[in-house]
Structure 1
Amino acid sequence: MHLGEIISVIALFCGTVMGLGALFSPAWASKVVRLVEDPDPLRPGGYSEFRATYGGVFLFAHLITALLVLYLWDGEHQMTTALVVLPLAAGWIGAAIGRTMSLILDTRKNREPGMIPIWIPTELILGLAIGAPFLQFVLLTH
């Protein structure tokens, strides 16, 4: 297994753990992302969204990507591994870009920057770490 794949699998398991946490504790996910369920008593719920999006999607998208990287680790599939991680890596980098835009454009609506300055580099790091096989492939083959 190459260094890029090791870094990627570690980052992917971090995403898997976040998803598992949100799946079983939507209250925790709500606190992490600073969103709350709908306070309107006529529209109860919201936890299903935390379980589905921050739980199920995070858990299974990261887990299946990690399993694919581990399955393809033999060294003969470097290009395939590089492509497998790309969508999820791009998603994390896209999240950082969106959060950066919010930090710049939504100052009044955000009131305080809160965790935004912490999440931006975290999302960039996760995106780059997940995309490490792609970066390694591009740097070593060109």
Structure 2
Amino acid sequence: MSVLTIIAALALGAGALMGLGALFAPGWAQGVVRLVPDPDPARPGGYSEFRATYGGLLFMVHMTALVILLKVGGFYSLFAIMPVAAGWFGAGLGRSLSLLLDTKENRAAGMIPVWIPLELALALAIACPVLHIG
């Protein structure tokens, strides 16, 4: 197994762990993304969204790509890892735009300057095996 595949596997594992954390500790996910469930008692279900989107979805997408990377490997694993890498790149892009365009709505940069390089680093780390083809 190459060093680049190991880097990608570690990054996918980190994404899966974030998802697992949100799946079993939705309060933690709520604090990370700084969103709150709808306080309207007629519209319950905010924690369900944290568990589903930030938990189960994030966990399963990363674990599926990790299993394909490690079990299938080679050229075909790129079809599993590149959408995940692109997703992290898109998150970094969206957060960068928010930092530039949403200054009034964000009130303060907060953790945005920390998350941008983290998301871009995860994107690059997950995409590492693409360098094998060139």
Q: Does TM, scored on the shorter chain, surpass 0.5?
A: yes
| Overall identity of the aligned pairs, in % | 53
Which whole-Å CA distance do the structure 1 matches of 2:14 and 2:78 have between them?
19
Q: TM-score, structure 2 length as denominator?
A: 0.96
Question: Residue 54 of structure 1 aligns with which residue?
Answer: 54
> In the TM superposition, what are the counterparts of 1:30-49 in structure 2 within 5 Å?
30-49=30-49
For the residue of structure 2 that corresponds to 1:61, the secondary structure is helix
The code of the aligned residue for 1:83 comes to F
What is the Cα-based RMSD across aligned positions, in Å? 1.0
Question: Residue 112 of structure 1 aligns with which residue?
Answer: 108
Note if 1:96 corresponds to 2:56.
Answer: no
> 1:60-92: CA deviations, max 9, x gaps?
00001101111024xxx2x22233210000000
- Number of aligned positions between the proteins: 134
Which whole-Å CA distance do the structure 2 matches of 1:82 and 1:51 have between them?
28
Note if 1:80 corresponds to 2:76.
Answer: yes
Question: Residue 119 of structure 2 aligns with which residue?
Answer: 123
For the residue of structure 2 that corresponds to 1:44, the secondary structure is coil
Question: Residue 64 of structure 1 aligns with which residue?
Answer: 64
The code of the aligned residue for 1:63 comes to M
In structure 1, list runs of 5 or more residues that go unmatched.
none
Question: Residue 132 of structure 1 aligns with which residue?
Answer: 128
